[in-house]
Structures are given as structure tokens and as C-alpha cells.
A and B are shown apart, each in its own frame.
Chain A
Amino acid sequence: MLQCKNLTCVREERVLFNNLNFTLAPGEILQVEGPNGVGKTSLFRLLVGLSTPYAGEVHWQQQNIMLDRDTYYQNMLYLGHKSGVKPELTALENLHYFHHLFNPKVEFDAWEILTLVGLAGYENVATAQLSAGQQRRVALARMWFSDCPLWILDEPFTAIDKNGVQVIEKLLIKHAEKGGMVILTTHQDLLLPPQLYKKLTLQKPAAGEQYV
């Protein structure tokens, strides 16, 4: 269970959001929405512990994530704006690296996963030579062999075609049905049935509270 307690994010003395509270329980999908610049990516960086909150805490299984990073990171998959894929390595080598670093206990067939994400035939091409959407798919392929219950996905559908989006949405539902948790941002409307996911709308703070 992921809990956000009174989270406040401040960037350059400007308050992005304050006193944000929410809980993500097993089996839930949460879509964070809001206009550009409202702090979605900043929120996600707080959730994964890449930046420290101005105030408030993030808890994973009742434990502050800053105090026990290793346990948290064993249970969390984060896909950010930057894909984390090495452009000079091939898709296969990138997957191999992610597998050994993040989910060494999972057994999987890399070829099968590359086929699932539509990269069959491109496995030995340097990732730099793939299209933007294909590079994104290499990063997203990690979701297929991840055994982490919590997925934090920042704009996962960027540069992905309609067909690909559907495949990923199905995967998200499957993950939630198995008791996993997903929190994601996207500017497109999710095509999932509304009862399957929750929405969290970030809003700019009131006029008097915009600066610290």
C-alpha cells in the first residue's frame, strides 16, 4: 500500500501543490491528471524518492520510503519521462541489463517479450537507430517481466501508437487484477471502463498560497 501524507512540493519558492493526501491500495489503478506545469512529474519524483518533499511523507507498507529505500525499490517499477534505455546498446542488451539489475529472480524469455512489444526483428539494432515509439517500447518492455507490485508510470503512452496503448492498458488491468498497483499520468483519456480506475486531479494552490 502506497500512502501520501500531507505532501507539499515547492519548486523555486513556488508551491506546486500542498497537503496532498491519497492512498493506493492493492488492485487499484490511479490516473493523475492536470494541466502542464501543475506538478505531475514532480509528484512522481517525490513518490519514487528521487527528490525530497518540502513537507509531508511518502509511505510504502507503513514505512517511510526514505528510511528503507532498498525494500521499497525491490517492490517498485518507475518509468519516467527519460526512458533509461541506453541508445548505443541493442534492445536485447537493454532488456538483459534491466532484468539483471531490477528483477534478477524472474525467469523470462527475452525474445517472447520483444515480440509482445512489437520489436521482433529489431532485437539486434542499436536502440539509437529505432524510432521514438520503438525506443519507448524498449523501456515499456520492462513491465512484462517485472514482479514489482507497484508501478509508477510517468506518461507511458508518449509516442506509442493506438494499438500499443490498448496492449498496455490490458497489461495494466491484468496487473491490477493480480493485486498490483498502478499510478500513471497521461494526457489521453484512458479507454478502460471507469469503474476500473480512479482519478486524482492536481490543482494549482489558491492565490494566497502560491509562494512560500
Chain B
Amino acid sequence: MFDAFLQIVRKELLGAFRQQSDILNPIWFFVIVVTLFPLGIGTDPALLARIAPGIIWVAALLAALLSFERLFKDDFIDGSLEQMMLAPQPLSWLVSAKVFAHWLLTGLPILLVSPLLAVFLSLQENTFWALFLTLLIGTPILSLLGSIGVALTIGLRKGGVLLSLIMLPLSIPILIFSTMAIDAATFGQSYIGLLALLGAMLVGAITLAPFAIAASLRVSVS
């Protein structure tokens, strides 16, 4: 069973490295959106530091939305999704592997470039760490929630708009708690409680979302 999980992750990563535009596009989009803000509103460090958490989180959300297109769509078109649904392992377990691979390809690169963006937006060190931790906990939740939306809209020809309508409202709590945590860090307050709340959301999403994704796939593919 763990072997099947690893095989799916391996297949996803191999496929993504063969088609690099798929991994590079969302992260490129993320970097560009964040860099455009200082150009648009001026380079006053105090102002930038004030709005940085919001900018980075909204950009991360939109970049995630951009990357969901490829999560199940290609598999749906070439039939490997059908085959995955007919595999002798539980479907919820196999989709967790897909979501994990998706996070490795989109969430992790965002984490890796975040120090660079912190410099662009002149963040303080402790603010940056708060940002990093919220991204670390928050991006997997985005991947999990988004996957439910993708699974629901996969059979539709133009599912993109519907996907954002499903997913963006669901991700508002993450956005609120993350930016609150970063704000608290900016003012030197403790933000561990907010991180714990995000962590609780992550645990909830990890345990429940795979079942929702599997059920949605069974409905959409039939």
C-alpha cells in the first residue's frame, strides 16, 4: 500500500519534470504578482511591510488556483484517472498521493522562494518566519481543499470559474488566520495560538479531504 503511494508520487514528479512549464508557470506567476506590487504602490518600506502578508498570501492562493488545472485534468483525458479508480487500493489513499505530489510541485517551491520575496517587501526577520510557518501549514490545506473542487468540476468543459467559486470561499479562513499570525509577528506578539488553529485545520483537511476527493471523483467520472 505504501508502495502504491510512492509509485504515484514518483510518476507525478517524473511527469512534471518532463513538462517543466507545468511546475514553473504557477511559481513564476507567484513571483511576478508579488514583485509588481512594490512597482505599483511605491517602495516605502513601512507601507510594504504592512501589506506584505496580504500580498503574499493572495498571490499564493491565486498561484495554487492556477496549478489545479493540471491536478486531475490530464489524467482524466488520457484515462489514467479511470485506471487509478480501478486500482485494488483504496481510492482515498491514492488521491492523497496525488495531492501530496501536487503540494511538492506547487506549495514547496512557494516556500522556497519566500525568503527572496521577503527581501523584496522588506520584511523583518520575525515577520518572515511567521510568513514561512503559515505558508508551510497553509499551502497543504490549499492543495487539499482545491483538490476537492477539481474533483467536483473535472467532468465539466469550462470548470475553471466554478472551481474558483468553490475553492476561494473555502480558503478564506486560512487567509484570515495566516495574515493575523503574520500581523501579530510584526507587532512582536505571540502568534503560536493562530498557528495552532491553522494546524488544526490542516489535520482536519488531511483526515477528511481524501474521502471527499474520492467520493467527488466517483460522482464526476461516472
Contact = CB atoms under 8 A, between A and B. Distances in A.
Interface of A: 45, 48-52, 70, 73-74, 76, 78, 80-89, 93, 96-98, 100-102, 104, 126
Interface stretch (B14-22, B160-168, B205-213): B14-22
A87 B80 CA distance: 10
Contact of B11 (A51, A78, A89, A104): A89
Interface in B67-104: 77-80, 82-90
B221 A50 contact: yes
Nearest to B10: A97
Contacts of A85: 78-80
A32 to B, nearest CB: 19
14 contacts: A49-B86, A50-B85, A50-B86, A73-B86, A81-B79, A82-B77, A82-B82, A83-B79, A85-B80, A88-B14, A93-B14, A100-B3, A101-B84, A126-B18
A80 B15 CA distance: 22
A98 B79 CA distance: 13
Contacts of A126: 18
Q: Which label, helix, strand, loop or mixed, suits the secondary structure of the B interface?
A: helix
Contacts of A93: 11, 14
B7 interface: yes
Contacts of B19: 88
B4 interface: yes
A104 B1 CA distance: 10
Interface of B: 3-4, 7-8, 10-11, 14-15, 18-19, 77-80, 82-90, 221-222
B86 A104 contact: no
Of the listed residues B3, B11, B77, B85, the one surrounded by the most CB atoms of chain A closer than 10 A to its CB is B11
Contacts of B3: 100, 104
B79 A80 contact: yes
Contacts, number: 73
A84 B80 contact: yes
Contacts of A45: 222
A73 B94 CA distance: 14
Given A73-B88, A80-B82, A101-B87, A50 B222 contact: yes
A89 B19 CA distance: 10
A83 B87 contact: no
B220 to A, nearest CB: 11
Contact of B78 (A78, A82, A96): A82
Of the listed residues B8, B79, B89, the one surrounded by the most CB atoms of chain A closer than 10 A to its CB is B79
Q: Which 4 A-B pairs rank lowest in CB-CB distance, beginning with the nearest?
A: A82-B79, A84-B83, A51-B222, A84-B79
B10 to A, nearest CB: 8
A102 B82 CA distance: 13
Contacts of A104: 3-4
Contacts of A97: 7, 10-11
A109 to B, nearest CB: 19
Contact of B7 (A48, A49, A101): A101
A76 B82 CA distance: 13
A74 B86 CA distance: 9
Given A78-B83, A89-B15, 18 more contacts: A45-B222, A50-B221, A73-B86, A76-B86, A78-B86, A82-B79, A82-B82, A84-B78, A84-B82, A85-B78, A85-B79, A85-B80, A88-B14, A89-B18, A97-B11, A101-B8, A101-B83, A101-B84
